[in-house]
A = this chain, B = another copy of it.
Amino acid sequence: MVTIYDIARVAGCSPATVSKAFNNYSGVNTATYNKIMEAAESLGYTPNTSARALATKKTWLLGVLFSEDEGTGITHPHFSEILQNFQYRAGERGYDVLFLNKRLGNKEASYLKHCKYRGLEGVLLAVGSRYNSEIQCVLSSDIKCVSVEDIYPGKPTIISDYHMGTMQALEYLYFLGHRKIAHIACPLGSVAGRERYYAYLDFLNSKGLEVNHKYIVETSEYAPEEGSKATARLLQQSWDDLPTAVFIGYDDIAFSAMATFQSQGFRIPEDISIVGFDNTKLSGFASPALTTIDQNRVTIGQSAADTLIRLIEDKSLDEGIEIRVPTKLIVRNSCTRV
């Protein structure tokens, strides 16, 4: 391994000067600077992060905390895309990102222990509060956190404007003449599920439409198979007075819901209009192509990285900040006029 001592020898200066050169300090003569860089290049020098971190107490390392459950977390199309943008932006700013988990070697350990062990400077939280007991420790530690899923008091949160998205979906349906609009809600235990649900209620209220509980179904998870179950339940509950449209909280669930409607003989959109939420890569390729609400995952991911880094670096940020990212209606073919 080539060190700054090797470079110093070749460049004819001291290790301290080499260090200064690499850290872009002001007081280094251009000539020696060049000699140092030349030597570094020819020797194939790479700085050693461990040594640097030990000396400076700065690791340039961020953690991401995903649900370790089946079917959610990094495997979820929404979060994997956020993660991608997060890590890309973090990289631009000099930070690397590391997966957090509940084990250090063969022993169970807390997330917090893991953070401290690796000297993580900040953590991206992409887990719901139902995992609270475990993550409570990291929230109340001095590690900087931002969330892209749940809302944790006093921590920055970057999520879609679910109210806005819901309004976009429902106004569109209303505009098409729909008055009997059902809602397949995602778990109300999640912020997204809950906010959409309340927005749905708000909407009906604002239009003077009555809330028909037969038109409301809550899924128990964010998983495709929930769409089939929920649709079956919805059909059963409202058989004597079917809705003409349904607003579904997650595209993957909308897929299976559509398949279920179709297998029951309903045509989409002729017999029933559907609007989803998420706009995943596949949404445009369902049959019919799914009209949905787009979440801006690029902005969410980048903004989460920026916010977290600002928190780490200048601390000038209001830690309780809540950033709402605008959504967008994507009109495709799953809705029609009633």
- What is the copy number of this chain in the assembly? 2
Identify which of B49, B54, B99, B106 contacts A118 (C-beta below 8 A).
Answer: B49
CB nearest neighbor in B for A228: B285
A87 within 8 A of B: yes
Chain B residue at minimal CB-CB distance from A100: B96
Considering the chains assembled together, what is the distance between the CA atoms of A68 and B88 in angstroms?
9
How many Å from the CB of A86 to the closest CB on chain B?
10
Q: Is A284 interfacial (CB 8 A cutoff)? A: yes
CA distance A97 to B47 in the complex (A): 20
Binary per-residue interface labels of chain A (91-102) against chain B in the complex, 1 for a CB within 8 Å, 0 otherwise? 111101111011
Asked if A88 and B101 make an inter-chain contact with CB atoms under 8 angstroms apart, the answer reads yes
Q: Which residues of B contact A92 (CB under 8 A)?
A: 103, 106
Q: How far is the CA of A228 from the CA of B103 in the complex (A)?
A: 44
Most buried by B among A88, A258, A287: A287
Which of A74-82, A176-184, A315-323 is the contact stretch? A74-82
A207 to B248: give the CA distance in the assembly, Å: 47
Asked if A236 is at the interface (CB within 8 A of a chain B CB), the reply is no
Residues on B with beta carbons closer than 8 Å to the beta carbon of A71: 281
Q: Which residues of B contact A228 (CB under 8 A)?
A: 285
- Can you name 5 extra interface pairs (CB under 8 A) apart from A48-B54, A68-B88, A262-B287? A77-B77, A91-B103, A94-B104, A224-B281, A259-B287
Residues of A within 8 A of B (CB): 46-51, 53-54, 59, 68, 71, 73-75, 77, 80-81, 83-84, 87-88, 91-94, 96-99, 101-106, 113, 116-119, 223-225, 227-228, 252, 255-256, 258-259, 262-263, 281-282, 284-289
28 contacts between A and B (CB under 8 A): A46-B113, A46-B117, A47-B117, A48-B119, A49-B117, A49-B118, A50-B54, A54-B54, A68-B88, A74-B74, A74-B84, A75-B77, A75-B81, A75-B84, A77-B77, A87-B101, A91-B102, A93-B105, A94-B106, A96-B99, A96-B118, A98-B98, A224-B284, A224-B285, A252-B282, A258-B287, A259-B286, A282-B282
The 7 A-B residue pairs whose C-beta atoms are closest, nearest first, are A94-B105, A256-B285, A259-B287, A50-B53, A46-B116, A91-B101, A50-B54
